[in-house]
Structure 1
Amino acid sequence: MPFIGAAIGAIAGAIGSVGSFIVGAAGTFLGKLALGIGFNLASAYFRRRKQERPEPTGVQIQTQYGADVPRQVAMGLVGIAGHECHVNAYGSDNKWLQDVYQVSDYFCSDLNRVAINGEWVTFDRNNPDPAKGWPVTSGDYAGVVWIKWYDGKQVAADAALVANAKPADRWTVDCKGIGNAYVIVTAEFVRDNQLGRPDMFFEVKGAPLYDWRKDSTVGGSGSHRWNDVSTHEFTENPIVMDYNYRRGLSVNGDLFCGMEMDASDLPLDKFTSAANVCDETVEGEARYRCSIMMDCTATHGDNIEALMKSCGGVVIDAVDGSWPMVGAAQPVVATITDDDLVVGEPVRWQKYRSMSELVNSIQGTHPDPEQLWSMVGYESIVLDDAIVVDRRTRDVPMDFPTVRSPRQAKQLASIYAAENRLEATADITLRPRWQVLKAGDWITWNSARYGTKTYIVVSRVLKSLDSDKPRVAVLSLQERNAGIYDGVQNPVPIVPYPPGKPVYLQEVVNLQLAAVLAGTADKLMPAIRAQWDAIDDVTVVGVDLEWWPTDQPASKGSLRVSDDVSSAVLVEGVVSATEYSVRTRLVTSPQRVVAWSDPATITTPDQPYTDIAVYLASLQEDMRNFFKDRWTEAEEIFERVEYLAANGATANVEDIVDRKRFERKIGNAEASIRKESVLRVAADEALAQDITAVSASVDQNSAAIVQESNARADADSALAQDITAVQAIADAGTAQGLMKWEAVAAPGGVSARFSLQGKATAGGAFRTGGAYLDVLPDSARWVFEADQFIITDGTVNGSPFVYAGSVLKVQNVVLGSLTFDVLQSSNGKLVLKGSGSNASLEIFN
C-alpha cells in the first residue's frame, strides 16, 4: 500500500451480471435470477483444495517493505504488522529512530493495541508527548518507545517527521497522507540497554463505514450519510462491509476500492434483513463478525466471497440488483405439489451428489487476537454418520482467516458440512402462477413420487411471451433444512500464554556427539550419534541437524526430527577417520527467529574401505533381486503374447462387449488381427480391458505384437496397466521387446512403474537389457541393465560419459568437492591415498 501515490483505477470485477437477460436456444429471451457467490462452499473447497491465490484475511503477520505493495482497506478488527514506508535516525549520534508503518489505505477508527517483540504492551494515552505521542509504559521498551497514531483524517504532515527528516526533502509538509492510516514509532537508543530495534505489531479498528440503518434519509434512524465520512462508524458486520464495498470507497474523489454500484441496485430491505441477522447476540457475541484487509488488487468475487464465507452467506443476483442472504433459517414462502408442474415439461430430480462433491469432515484454523493473531485450530466438525455411509473420511481443510471467534468458526464449519449433506437437487417447470418465486426463496415440494422436502430456489427462469409456454417458471432447486443453522456446542476454550513474557528455548540443551559404527557385524559404516536433553518447550515442533567435514563446509548433510525425539544417528556422507562439525536449530510453531547453534566437532572411527564397499554390496544385492523380479514378470507377459497371438484374447469370459477377428491363410502363410473389449461390473468391483493381438507366420517363423490395456477397481484398491509386447521367432533365434506402464493404489501403498525390456536368444545363449522407473511416495529410482551405457550429443567427440566392460569413462569433468579413499592415474604412476588416519602421495618413475 504505497503511502502517497497515484490512484489505482477500480479493478474489473469477477462478478458478472448473471441476473441480466440472456438469449434462449430458440431466440426467445429468458429473465433469470440466480444464487451466486458462496453457494455450496464445502463442495467447492473439496474440488478446489489449492487456490490460485491466497484469500483475503484479517491478519498480516510479516512487515511489508518497498513501494510495490498492493493497496488495501482494513475493515473490522484486524492484526497487522504494517507497511514500513519511512525510517529515519536523528539527533546526536543518531540517538533517535523514527519508523512509519502504514496500516490501511483508507480511514481507520482507532489503534486498539500494540505488541513489541511478541508481547502486548500498554501506553499512556492521557499523557502524550507533543512530538512523539503516547509513551509505552510496560515491557522491555517502557520509557524508550513512543507511539503516535494517525487515522487518515489528518490535514497536515507530522511536524516531528518534517523537522527531523535527513535529508530534509525525505519528509516535507506535503507528505500529509490524507486518507491513509499510519503509526509513527519513535525509539530512543540507550547505550546500556541492548534491546535492539523493536519489532512492531498493531491491532487496529478498521474503517468507519456507512450503515444505512442509521441514516434517517433512507428509512433508518440516525445521522449517517453516505457522502460524509465523518458520520460513519466502526463496525464488524460483514453485510455492512459488503454494502460499502459494492458502493465503492474513495478518498478525495479517487475511487480505488470497490465496485461503484448504484444504490438503486442494492435493495436496502434485503441488506437490512441480512445485517440484522449478523448483529444478533449468540453466546454473548454478535452472530457473525468479520476482520478483513480488503485487497484492492483482488477480483471483486474474491473479496465478496471472503465476506460471505464469514457469515455463511450467498449472493443473489437478479435483474433488479444484487443482495446477500446470510447463514440463517429462512421462512418457507410456498408449498407446491406435483399438480403445479407443467405437463409435458421434463422433470430432473437427483437424490444424491457425486461422491467427488461429498464432505464428511471439516477442519482448519482461524486467527486468535489473544495469541498475537496467530492462526489456531478451531474444533473440527466430524459427521460420524456420513463417514459410515461414505466408508471413508472425506475431509476438507477450510480456514476462516477473517473470523476471530472460535465459536463463529466452528458454527460456520458446521453449517458448510451440514449443507453439503443435503444432497437432493431438482429442475422443474411450474405454472405461471409461481412466477413470483425468486432465487433464495425456501419452498416445500410435496411430491408423491419424490417425497416431501424443503428446497432453496437456486435459480428462476421465466420463459418469454413469444415462447410456446409463456411466463412459466423454470426453477433449479437445492435441498435445504433449517436444522443446519442450529447452534453447536461451545468450543473447547483455548488457553492463551500466561501473562508476562514467556521464556522460549533457543537451542537444544546438552548436545553430545559420539563416533559410532552403524550396520551389522560384517557391514559396518562410520557414523555420528547426536543426543540432547528432552524438549519441554511447547512451541518447539522439531530439530534440524546439519553436519559436514570440518575442512569441507560446502559438503553438508541434513536431517529433521520431531520434538519428541532426543537423539539421531547421522550416516549420510559420513566417511571414516574424518573430523566432522555438527550444529542444530530448533523448528518452532508459531514460527519465530531461531539461530543455528555453534558447531560441535567429532572425529569418526577408523573403518577404512567399508563405506563404499558396504554400499556397493547392498546395491548389488538390491539390483540382483530387482532384475530377477522384473524378468520373471516379463517372461509371464511373453508367454501371454504367444497365447494371445495363437488363440485370441480372453476366451469364454462373460460380459464381453465386443470381439473381432480378422485372419487369412494361404498354404503355410498365415496372418491375423484379433481385437477384444471386455467390461465387467459388480457391486464392489469394476473391470475394463482392451486387447489387440497382431500376428504373422510362415512355417516356423513368426512375429507377433500385443497391446493390452487394463483398468480395475474394487472397494480396496485400483490398478491401471498399459502393455505393448513384440516378439519375432525364426531359425536365427528369438527377439522380444516389452514396454509397460503400471499404476497401483492399494492398502499396501501406491506406486508407479515404467519398464522397457528386451531379450535376444540365439544358439541357446541369450542377452537381456532394460530400463526401469519405480516411484513410491517416499522414493524414486531409475535402474538400467546394459553392457554399455553412453551419453552423447551425436558428434564424433561428443560422448563424454561411457560405461562398458564394467569400466566407466568420463571426460571433461568439473568437480567441486570430492571425497575418496584412493586416487590413481591411468598409467599407475601417481597414487594419492586419503583413507584411514594417514594420507600419502606416491609418484613412480
Structure 2
Amino acid sequence: MALFTAIAGAIGAVATAVSGFIGTALAAGGIGAFALKTAVGIGLNLLAQAIAGKPKAPTFSINGTLQSGGDLPRSFILGRTATAGSLVWVNTWGKDGDTPNGYLTQVIAISDLPVKSLDELWVNGEKCTIDYERPHADGRGYPVTEYKKGSSDSLWVRFYDGAQTAADSFLSATASNAQRSWSANRVGRGVAYAIVTARVSKKMFSSIPNFKFVVSGIPLYDITKDSTAGGSGTHRLSDPSTWGGDGDDLPAVQAYNLLHGLTFNGQWFYGLQNIAAARLPADNWIAAINKCRAPIAGASGNEPTYRSAGEIQIDAPLASALEAINTACQGRIAEVGGVYTMFVGAPDAPVASFTDDDILSTEEQSFTPFFGLADTINGISANYPSPEDGWAAKTAPPLYRTDLEALHGNRRLMADVPLDFVPYAEQVQRLMKSALEEGQRARRHTLVLPPQFWSYAVPGAILAWTSARNGYDAKLFRVDGVSDKANLDVMIDITEVDPSDFDWDTNTDFEVPVDGTVGPMRPAPQPIVDWFAEKWALKDDNGAPTRAAIRLTWDNSDGRLDGIDGVEYEVRLASDLSHVTGGRTDQPEAGSMVVSQGIVGLTTYGVRGRYIRDSGEDVLWSDWLPVTTDDIRQTDVTAYLSGVGQDVYATLQQLRADHDDLRARLEMIAAGSADATGASIDVHTVARRFQDATAIAMREMTASIEAKTRVYRQATAPTGDLADGDIWIDTDDGNKVRVWNATSSTWEDAGAKGLLTFAQDAPPTASNVGDLWVDTNDNSRLYRWDGTAWVDVSDARITAQASILDAVQAAVGNVSADGLRKIEVTAGAGDVVARLTDMVRATVDDAWVEAGTVTEVGFTGGDPLQPFARMLFVAGQFVFTDGTNDFLPVVIEDGEIKLAIANIGTVTAGVIKSPDDKFVITLSSGKLEWFD
C-alpha cells in the first residue's frame, strides 16, 4: 500500500512521484496512461505544487514562543536550529536584599530526545554570552554577560543535554517552596532542558524575559561512517554511543534515521518501526549522503551542498517530516516493494537508455509539451529561518525572470516555497534557482516499455532517450511514476531533466541578504555634554583672590538635562594620578559648580565628570581635562585648614541650632505647656512669671550608650527601635545613605554630609576620609575609609554619651536674654570627643546678638588615631585687660577681622597690601608695586 501518499492508494497499482516525496503502490493488473498521469499529478516540484494549491501539511517553522500546557506534543531537534521550548516549571523564590521573591526560575524543555550541545542563547531577541568561567555557588548556573550591571548579575542559565541521571539539586533545594516543589525524582531522563533564573529588576527586565535556545540536535547514525555497512568509520547501528558528527546536519542522514526509526533506551519514539537494514539499501543511501556532503563554493568558502535543521513534533505525520527534509535538498524518496531509496539534487547518470524502437507502439502513449497557465511559474520567493535575524522567519531575495515573463504574456507568475528546514541563506537561494529552472521542464511522456526495462523503471531513476521523432539525442528523463502490466511490460511516466539546472556561481548568483537589527534597542551610554574645567579663585569681600579653585561647567540648556538627576565629578593630580577629591551636585540645571576642597595653587589637576541618572541608564565619564591653578597664596587660617574650617563652621551652625532649640524649650516651659524632660535622666527647672515677664533656670543631665551604626537594606525605612544616628542603606534608590534624626523623627540624606557608598566585589583603593562602603556580598557589612585603609565599623560602633546643660532665660515683652553652658562627652570605637560650650544671646524683636566659645578636644578615626584640640570664638570684639588698662586689639567689622593695635616683633607674610590695593608688597618674590 502507499505508505506516504494517499493519492497513490486511491488510484491503485501506481508508483508515483509527488512533489519532493515519492510513494509507491505495486499490484497486479494494469492502469491507463491517463490514470498514471493523474496519479503523478502536476506537482512534480515544489513550485508547481505551490501553484496547484496542494493542501498544506504540518509546518516546521521555528518555535519562537515559549509553549505551555499539559497537552503539548513531544518534539525533538534535527540539525542545528533554535527553539523557544516548552515551559515545564516556574517559581519565584528567595530575597534580593530585603526584597521578597527576588528571583524567577523557569525550567524549559528543549528536546524530548538528548541533544549534543547548547550553542547559543538569545534573550529578548538578542544573542547573549554565557560566562562559563563564573558558575554561581548555589548551582543556579552561569551568568549571562549582557545582564550584568556593575558587579551584579541578573540572569543565569544551566543546561542539561538529556543524558542526566539525577534531579537538579538547585531546583529541589533552593528554588522550590511549599507551593511549588521540585522533587528529587524529577530527573527528566532523555529530555534536554534549560534552567533560567532572573533577578527581578525593573532596570534589567520590563517583563518576563523570553528565550531562544540554539542547539545542535540529536546525534544520528551515518551509514557512510560505518565500515561494517559499506562506509568507513566507527559508527555502528546497534550502538548509539558511536553516533554523531557532521552527518547530523545532512538531509539524507536525517531521512535515513527517521525511516529506520528513532528510539530512546531501546523504546520506539518516532518514525518507522522494526525496519530491516536491507529495506534501506546501503549503496543508494551512501550515494545520497555523499551528495549532500559534497562541498560547493559559497560566499564564505566551501560548504556542504545540502544541510537541514528543524524541530519535529511527534504528532506530525512521518510523510510530512520527510517532505520538509526533502525540500532542503531537492530530494525524492521512493518505496518499491518495501525498499526505500533516496535521490538528491541534480539528476544522476542514467541507469538505462532507450530509443523510439523500444517503445511498444501497440500501447497507449501521451505527451504534454508544456504546462497550462495554472501550472506555469516564472518567479519564486521563499521563506526561511534566519540566524542573523534572531532566527525569525525571513523572505529571501525574490528571483524574477523577465525573459520568462515575456514568454508568458508579460505575466508574473510567482510561487512561494516555505523552507522551514533550511537556516542557510545561500543554500536557500541555490534551491530557489534550481527549482525555478527545473520548473521550466514541461516535456512529459507516458509510454510502455518491454519487460527488459522493468528493473530500471524505479521512481527517481534517470533514463536517456534518443528519439528521431521528438528530436532527442540521449535526452535525460526522470521516472516519476511506474505501473506494471500483467504481461511484465512496464508503463512509465517520465519528465525531462537537465543537470545544468543545478549549476551555481556564488559570485554572480548569490545576493547577499540584508540582515535586520535584532535584540533590544539599548541606548548608548550617555556622555556629559560640553564638559569644561577652568582655573578659578575664591575671593574675599574686596574681590581679592584668597584660595585656588576649579570651576566646572556643562550644558544646561532647555531639554538637555531631561532625565538627569545630578552631575558627578572626580579630581586627580596630574603628576601621579592620585585621587584628590570628588563629589556630586543634585542641581544639574545650575550648569556649573566650584570645587575648592583639597585644591592648592600652582598645581596641575585632571578633572572628569558624568551625569547621574537614578533611573539606571548607563552614563559615560568624560575624558580627563587638564587644568592648572593660579599661584594664589592663602591668607587666612580657615583657607589653610579647610577641613578644620568646615568642621568649625558645622559646629557653629549646630551650636546656633541647639541655642534655638533651647530657647524654644524654655519658652514652652514658661508657658507651662510642654514636657521639658525629653529623654533626659534628670531635669531640674525653676520658672517665675509675672504679667508678661518670665525668668527660667534649667539643668538637664543625660547619659546614654547607643549602637550608632545600624545597617538596614530594604525598600522602605525601618520603623522599629531606632537610635539617633542609625544608618540606613536605601538599595532601591541608588544605594543612598540615610541617617536617622531622632529629634525630628526623620531620615536625613547622609550623602549631603559627604558620606558615599560603594557596592562592589572589592572596595575602592582610595576615597575620601569618612566615605562608607556597603559590602553586599558579605551580609551588608559596613566599612569606612580612614584615609589609608577601609575599617570595619559594622559591629564596633558602640557609642557612650553624657552631657550636662545649664540654661537660663529672662524675658520682658519683646526683649529677652538667655545663656547656656553645656558639657558633653562622647566615646566610641575610633572617636573620642569632649566639648565645652558657653553661649549668651540677647534678643529684641527679630534682632539678636550673640557671643560664646566652644572648646573641643578628641581623637578621630584612623590608625593611628588623629588628635585635635581647638577653640571657636563667636564675638565681634575681643577686649583684653589687666584690671587697670583695657585694650581692644581685635574686632570683626564688615565681614573682616581687623587689628586695632599691634606691637609685633617678627612678621612672616606672603603679601602685604593697602586696603585699596594701590600699595602691594609681594614678599615671596621681593616685588614692591605702587598703583595710582
Structure 2 length-normalised TM: 0.49
* Deviation (angstroms), 1:81: 1.3
How far off its partner does 1:13 sit?
6.0
Maintained 8 Å contact 2:48/2:376? yes
Describe the superposition over 1:105-140 as per-residue Cα deviations: whole angstroms up to 9, x where unpaired: 111111111112221111122443351122212346
Q: What is the distance in 2 between the residues matched to 1:217 and 1:227?
A: 11
The answer to whether residue 214 in structure 2 is matched with residue 203 in structure 1 is: yes
Query: Counterpart of 1:387?
Result: 405
Inter-partner Cα distance in structure 1 for 2:392 and 2:523: 17
1:250 aligns with 2:263: yes
From the superposition, tell whether residues 227 and 177 of structure 1 become closer, same or farther in structure 2 (CA, over 3 Å).
Answer: farther
Pairing partner for 1:475 from 488, 492, 496: 492
In the alignment, is the contact (CA less than 8 A) between 1:38 and 1:314 conserved in 2?
no
Structure 2 match to 1:396: 415
The answer to whether the aligner puts 1:232 opposite 2:243 as a matched pair is yes
Q: Aligned residue for 1:432?
A: 451
Q: Identity of aligned pairs, percent? A: 29
Match of 1:455 in 2: 477
CA contact (8 A) 1:37 1:301 kept: no
Question: Is structure 2 residue 66 aligned with structure 1 residue 63?
Answer: yes
Distance 2:86 2:225 in 1: 34
Structure-2 change in CA distance of 1:500 and 1:104 (3 Å): closer
Query: Would the alpha carbon gap of residues 192 and 388 (structure 1) be closer, same or farther in structure 2, given more than 3 Å must change?
Result: closer
When residues 194 and 361 of structure 1 are mapped into structure 2, their CA distance, relative to the original with a 3 A threshold, is closer
RMSD over equivalenced CA pairs, Å: 3.0
Distance 1:192 1:81, change over 3 A: closer
Aligned to 1:78: 81
Secondary structure at the aligned position of 1:24 is classed as coil
1:102 aligns with 2:112: no
8 Å CA contact 2:43, 2:49 repeated in 1: no
- Specify which of 307, 325, 345 is matched with residue 327 of structure 1: 345
Partners of 1:191 and 1:385 in 2: CA distance: 58
> Superposed, which structure 2 residues align to 1:407-422 within 5 Å?
407-422=426-441
Assess, with a 3 A threshold, how the Cα gap between structure 1 residues 75 and 431 changes in structure 2: closer, same or farther: same
Amino acid across the alignment from 1:241: Q
Out of 501, 519, 526, the residue aligned to residue 484 of structure 1 is: 501
Checking the alignment, whether the CA contact within 8 Å between 2:42 and 2:375 is kept in structure 1 is: no
Contact 1:38 1:309 survives alignment (8 Å): no
2:274 corresponds to 1:274: no
2:194 aligns to what?
183
Cα deviation, 1:445-472, whole Å, max 9, x if unaligned, reads 22222220321112333434xxxxx332
Deviation of residue 250 (structure 1)?
Answer: 2.1
1:124 correspondence with 2:162: no
The answer to whether structure 1 residue 265 and structure 2 residue 270 are counterparts is no
**Contact 1:442-1:456 within 8 A present in 2 as well:** yes
| Alignment correspondent of 1:723 | none
State the alpha-carbon separation in 1 of the partners of residues 502 and 493 from structure 2.
22
Structure 2 vs 1, CA of residues 348 and 173 (structure 1 numbering), >3 Å: closer, same or farther? same
- The reply on whether 1:151 has 2:169 as its aligned counterpart is no
Kindly indicate whether the alpha-carbon contact (under 8 Å) linking 1:367 and 1:404 is maintained by their aligned counterparts in 2. yes
CA distance in 1, matches of 2:381, 2:215: 28
Q: Does 1:317 align with 2:344?
A: no
Deviates more, 1:248-257 or 1:359-368: 248-257
Q: Give 1:374's aligned amino acid.
A: A
Deviation at 1:183, TM superposition (A): 0.5
What's the CA shift for 1:331? 0.8
Counterpart residue number, 2:378: 360
Structure 1 250/395 Cα, relative in aligned 2: closer, same or farther at 3 Å?
Answer: same
User: Could you say what secondary structure the match of 2:455 adopts?
Assistant: coil
Contact 2:31 2:483 survives alignment (8 Å): no
How far apart are the structure 2 equivalents of 1:223 and 1:308?
27
The amino acid across from 1:316 in the alignment is A
- Give the letter aligned to residue 482 of structure 1: P
* Higher Rg of the two aligned structures: 2
- Equivalent position of 2:233 in the other structure: 222
Residues 275 and 135 (structure 1 numbering): CA distance in 2 closer, same or farther, change over 3 Å? same
One-letter amino acid matched to 1:129: H
| 1:174 counterpart SS class | coil
How has the CA–CA distance of structure 1 residues 36 and 180 changed in structure 2, closer, same or farther, with 3 Å as cutoff? farther
Letter of the 2:26 partner, please give it. Answer: F
1:729-773 Cα distance to aligned partner (Å, 9 max, x none)? xxxxxxxxxxxxxxxxxxxxxxxxxxxxxxxxxxxxxxxxxxxxx
Q: Which amino acid aligns with 2:158?
A: K
2:157–2:195: 8 Å Cα contact kept in structure 1?
yes
Could you tell me which amino acid in structure 2 is paired with residue 56 of structure 1? F
**CA separation in 2, counterparts of 1:53 and 1:40?**
15
In the superposition, relative to structure 1, how do residues 269 and 53 fare at CA in structure 2: closer, same or farther (>3 Å)?
closer
Residue-by-residue CA offset, 1:188-210 (whole Å, 9 max, x unaligned): 23587665532222111111111
Q: Identify if the C-alpha distance between structure 1 residues 200 and 194 changes in structure 2 by more than 3 Å, giving closer, same or farther.
A: closer
**CA distance 1:442–1:21, shift in 2 (3 Å):** closer
Is 1:40 matched with 2:58? Answer: no
SS where residue 336 of structure 1 aligns?
strand
Task: Confirm or deny: 8 A CA contact 2:58 2:320 kept in the other structure.
Answer: no
1:385 to partner: Cα distance? 2.5
Alignment-mate amino acid for residue 79 of structure 2? G
1:262 to 1:230, Cα distance in 2 relative to 1, 3 A: same
How many Å separate the matches in 2 of 1:359 and 1:454? 22
Letter in 2 for 1:157: A
Give the whole-Å Cα distance in 1 for the aligned partners of 2:357 and 2:4: 42
Structure 1 45/495 Cα, relative in aligned 2: closer, same or farther at 3 Å?
A: closer
Structure 2 Cα separation of the partners of residues 498 and 355 of structure 1 = 40
Residue 387 of structure 1 aligns to a residue whose secondary structure is helix
One-letter code aligned to 1:43: A
How far apart are residue 40 of structure 1 and its match?
A: 2.1
Q: Please say if residues 35 and 317 of structure 1, whose CA atoms lie closer than 8 Å, have aligned partners that are also in contact.
A: no
Distance 1:21 1:338, change over 3 A: same
SS at match of 1:138: helix
Q: Distance in 1 between matches of 2:389 and 2:161?
A: 25
Q: CA deviation at 1:353?
A: 2.0
**Deviation of the 1:271 alpha carbon:** 1.0
Q: 2:26 aligns with which of 4, 12, 21?
A: 21
Whole-angstrom distance in 1 between the partners of 2:136 and 2:205: 24
What is the aligned residue count? 484
> For the residues of structure 1 that align with 2:222 and 2:43, how far apart are their CA atoms?
23
Instruction: Determine the structure 1 residue equivalent to 2:763.
Output: none
* Aligned mates of 1:377, 1:390 — CA distance in 2: 25
Question: Are residues 1:112 and 2:126 paired?
Answer: no
Letter of the 1:240 counterpart: V
Q: What SS does the corresponding residue of 1:208 show, helix, strand or coil?
A: coil
Distance 1:81 1:385, change over 3 A: same
- Which digits, 9 at most, give the CA deviation of each residue in 1:134-158, with x for residues without a partner? 2212346772211101111111111
Mapped partners of 1:151, 1:26: distance in 2: 52
* Residue among 105, 128, 137 paired with 2:145: 137
* Mapped partners of 2:392, 2:452: distance in 1: 54
- Pick closer, same or farther for the CA change 1:375–1:169 going to 2, 3 Å: closer
Does the CA contact (< 8 Å) of 2:147 and 2:153 recur in 1? Answer: no
Q: Structure 1 residues 450 and 161 mapped into 2: Cα distance closer, same or farther (>3 Å)?
A: same
- The offset of 1:100, in angstroms, is 0.7
